[in-house]
Amino acid sequence: MTTVYLTHPDALAHQTPAGHPEQVARMKAIHSVLEAPEFAGLMRLDAPLGQENQLLLCHPEHYVTRIRKAIPAAGIYQLDADTHVSPGSLNAALRGVGGACHAVDLVMDGTAQNAFVGLRPPGHHAERATPMGFCLFGTIAIAARHAMERHGLQRVAVVDFDVHHGNGTQDLLWDEQRAFFVSSHQMPLWPGTGKAEERGAFGNVMNIPLPPGTDGPSFRRIYEDTVLPQLDRFAPELILVSAGFDAHRDDPLAQLDLLEDDFAWVTGALCDIAARHSGGRLVSVLEGGYDLDALGRSVAAHIRVLMEKGA
């Protein structure tokens, strides 16, 4: 068994305005750290393009058409205050969807033990028919529905430790009884959703609001006391991870106080849950992380643990 890393050069073609935090340099920071000899054992694959039928697992056809029509022939088009598209944005977002779904296939058929999908733009803020928060399509929710529909899974856990609430994933999985969605996030903070009382149509949503300044020991204790026991009770057949690294203390967009070791710890804890219930099957998808040095170090710590657990 092994760890597979899926990415694609199309992620570099999604352009945002100068000074925008969700920038091409994020990919370059990740690629740079993964050139280290310790990552030579990674199975590296190009992410395929997501297909229309995959997008329609979570988004209506009129929304997909709207996004396609919004892509400019040149320059940058603004969808909302935070979210922009350029000529390369559609393929970049489709690589994210295709990469996440292909990663699910690879861990389900035993080709890999676990996977990390390193692509941009992120996806966990895209709601059913609304792009927002840098996101066009609900990548992780689509991957969850893909696991259910293609592989017949009845219990898929999605864990989001990005500093911002995964409002899009919550919206897309709210009525999905086969999913258990957990989001830990700073509150108060954009987008303003993610209160503890938001629990999903079937009690299948668990929100963990964290106050500004939450540090690593507090974060770990909350997961140990609250999140991990619930995941054990759910006994997932597959774990999907929205891996946002903007809860790092150096990140410019929020005020949590985590370090690379904390991301490594939660990665290991989720891999252990997967080992107990799903044969170790886990797929992680990049979300946020906007300090370039902290992003590179955090991704390296995350993948290092995936490789150790997937050996």
| Catalytic site positions | 125
- Residue 301, SS3 per DSSP: helix
Query: In which residue are the tokens 């990919």 written?
Result: 27
CA atoms within 13 Å, Cβ hemisphere of 213: 0
CA gap 107, 193 in Å, rounded: 32
Could you give the C-alpha distances from 184 to 107, 174, 227, in angstroms and in order?
25, 16, 9
Q: Which of 209, 217, 205, 207 is nearest to 186 (CA)?
A: 209
Neighbours of 81 (CB within 10 A): 8
Structure-block tokens of residue 79: 């969808």
- Tell me if 117 sits within 8 A of 8, measured CB to CB: no
> Is residue 121 reached through a cis peptide bond, with omega within 30 degrees of 0 on the bond before it?
yes
